A = this chain, B = another copy of it.
Amino acid sequence: MSSDGEHASFELGIKFGALFHQFVGTPVSEESAASLATAIEESIENQPYTESVTVTVDREALAADIGPYGYTGLAGRHLEVEIVVEEAGTRATGTMEMVDGYPLMCLETVE
């Protein structure tokens, strides 16, 4: 009904959807960005089959959004994300990056 590659890709997608919708809107400043990135990584790495989660905050994009109160809500444009899952010997890797102003989640490789 479905292949190992499809299963690994499905699991990878779950992690991206979870990461984005759990954390978007979190109050974040230049000072608190590091602890938030670490918490996001360690949180999503708990999910089944997850090998690694790497979250980088785009400091320029974040600084551009900091308002009069010294912080903003976390948005897709502040993040670069790479996630690797491994299920039944198949590894799927994906990224989230800004493409045309939209935080695009991409399936990069399944092997």
Residue A100 contacts which of B9, B36, B68 (CB distance < 8 angstroms)? B68
* Beta-carbon nearest neighbor of A94 in chain B: B10
Nearest Cβ in chain B — how far from A67, in angstroms? 5
Q: Which A35-75 residues have a C-beta within 8 angstroms of B? A: 35-36, 38-40, 42-48, 67-71, 73, 75
Q: How many copies of this kind of chain does the complex include?
A: 4
Total interface residues on A, CB under 8 Å, equals 59
| A-B pairs with beta carbons under 8 Å apart, 21 shown | A3-B110, A6-B92, A6-B107, A10-B13, A10-B94, A11-B13, A17-B20, A19-B21, A22-B25, A24-B25, A26-B43, A27-B47, A28-B43, A35-B35, A35-B38, A35-B42, A38-B39, A46-B70, A48-B69, A67-B101, A73-B76
